[in-house]
Amino acid sequence: MSVAVKSVSNARSVLGPTGNRVRCEPTEPKQREGPKPKESQQKQKPSRVTQIPKTVVRSNVSVDSCCSSDSSSSSCSATKLMTSKRKVKSSVKVVPDGVETEMMSPSRVVPVKRCGWITPFSDPIYTSFHDEEWGVPVYDDRKLFELFVLSQAFAELTWPAILNNRDIFRKLFDNFDPASVANFNEKKFSSGNTNGNALLSEPKLRAIVENAKQVLKVQGEFGSFSNYFWSFVNNQPIENRFRYARQVPAKTPKAEFISKDLMKRGFRCVGPTFVYSFMQVAGIVNNHLLTCFRYEGCNLNNKMDMKPRIESTEKLTEVSKNTHPCHD
């Protein structure tokens, strides 16, 4: 009995609390080091997806944290991936190659909208004429006479051809001085040839000379050629609101009335179509389309220059009434 007791006591001493703690110490680091590879892998995951949107990265992290079992991991990951794809589709706008850079570029040039008869293939000088001169109200007599002559030349030439030869026109007609043009002779007519070709026909040249003489008479009667023409519209441009080029007429009743008055005064080649074309060029009529960027620009120029013109015109009319009283 004594021997059996000793063996049992020896076994208990080996399996005592102290012995178990000593023998379990090398196994405890192994159990603690077991999940460390998973934690290191989780820490390394974000470095692999740095180029993926933040919404996707956050959804992947939540998948690893919430799906602990094999059975629930597949369903959880599927739902998270679906939500991440929806977020990416809603946040990212897919555009064709080369379009996104143009849309996002701050230096992108937006094309200017002009009247329908100005196209990307129009002569640059014609486009500049539309942007800078056409439709701007003109009150200077010499400038008005220049546009008057060029509008008459439009019956035989196109506007690009006229504008490209504008310097020749100015030299031929002495910088469009009506007093000088009125004294042209036969020799001056022959100088109207350019490289052996006549810039304008002889009847047209003679008509311009005759019209210069009538301009001088109008200046003596109304004080200026400008006062004569602007009196037909009460010194205020007609502002049409056409949206399409096909709506712009070739002539109007107002142009027909002015044409008849010009013919009575001895002007030549001044039909209603020519008169209306001249009125548009000189800004007496604003026929820029509503979609054209020059429509509001011409209106603004007119409002800035209208008040002094009205005051000067009223003074001239008062002087003319006092010097030339009307008798019933």
Which residues contribute to the annotated binding site for Zn(2+)?
115, 130, 288, 292
The count of other CB atoms within 10 Å of the CB of residue 317 is 14
Residues 6+ apart with CB under 8 A from 262: 214, 270, 275
Q: For residues 172 and 179, is the Cβ–Cβ distance under 8 A?
A: no
- Token couple for 227: 């006062």
Residues 6+ apart with CB under 8 A from 48: none
Among candidates 309, 311, 294, which has minimal Cα distance to 136? 294
Q: For residues 266 and 210, is the Cβ–Cβ distance under 8 A?
A: yes
- Token couple for 38: 């998973």
Q: For residues 140 and 146, is the Cβ–Cβ distance under 8 A?
A: no
Identify the bridge partners of residue 198 per DSSP, sorted by sequence position. Answer: 193
Encode 108-126: b = buried (16+ Cβ within 10 Å), e = exposed.
Answer: eeeeeebbbebeeeeeeeb
**Rounded Cα distance, 139 and 142, in Å:** 9
Report the relative pairing of strands 285-286 and 238-239 from DSSP bridges.
Answer: parallel
